[in-house]
A = this chain, B = another copy of it.
Amino acid sequence: MSEKPDEVMRAVEATLFASEDALTVEVLAGHLGGIDAAEVREALHALEEYYRGRGIHLVERGKRWHFETAPDLAHLLRREREQVRRLSRAATEVLAIVAYHEPVSRAEIESIRGVQTSAGTLDVLMEAGWVKLAGRREVPGRPVIYATTPEFLEHFGLSSRRDLPGIDELRAAGLLDPVDDALEAAMDREEEADSGAEEDAEEYSSESQA
């Protein structure tokens, strides 16, 4: 590693940096006008050495040279930002219906819920990894049917779907009592704040009349 880069090194460095494509030694030499290819090659190797251990590397691929991010830092280029969001009420309902009735088609889910279900709701559940496509029902129209996944059981701490409380137990626990309007309104508001539930807001207002 030379302490002070010479002019050829500087020129090669800047040219490769500004170039949209990887460049061969010949193209570089041509571009820099009258510089010997051997000199360019020497500069490239010096630079390669110079950048070793830095955040950027100078690399040769198929005789063409270019700069790239150091492989161990590749994760910096594609960062993932996790955000935790509460499932919207509509999605929770759909998930519950899938769990209790699986495999079910979307039409069946809608008929059980009594309201239309937006396509996005099932997408969210599939993205969450809790619901999966489970083939098609062999009836006219061959609708897609949905079922829960092992991840679903795991997330909700169930060893099997049979662990889900039955209707009688739900009733005994008071869970079949209609929610009062105030609570419903409060929950809607909470969901809005949570976002992701825009498409459901209208559903709820129509539900309350249902």
A interface residues with partner B (beta carbon < 8 Å) = 4-5, 9-15, 17-18, 31-33, 53-56, 67, 69-70, 73, 76-77, 79
A4 CB contacts on chain B under 8 angstroms: 53
Separation of A1 and B10 alpha carbons in the complex (Å): 18
Instruction: Name 23 interchain pairs, CB-CB below 8 A, sorted by A.
Output: A4-B53, A9-B55, A10-B70, A10-B73, A11-B55, A11-B73, A11-B76, A12-B55, A13-B54, A13-B56, A14-B55, A14-B73, A14-B76, A15-B55, A15-B76, A15-B77, A17-B55, A17-B69, A18-B69, A18-B76, A18-B77, A31-B76, A33-B76
Cβ contact of A17, chosen from B9, B12, B14, B56, cutoff 8 A: B56
- Identify 19 new A-B residue pairs, CB closer than 8 A, beyond the known A10-B70, A17-B69: A5-B54, A5-B55, A10-B54, A10-B55, A11-B55, A11-B73, A11-B76, A12-B55, A13-B54, A14-B56, A14-B77, A15-B55, A17-B56, A17-B67, A18-B69, A18-B77, A31-B79, A32-B76, A33-B79
Give me the 10 closest cross-chain CB pairs, A-B, nearest first. A13-B55, A14-B55, A10-B55, A14-B69, A14-B73, A17-B56, A18-B77, A18-B69, A15-B76, A11-B76
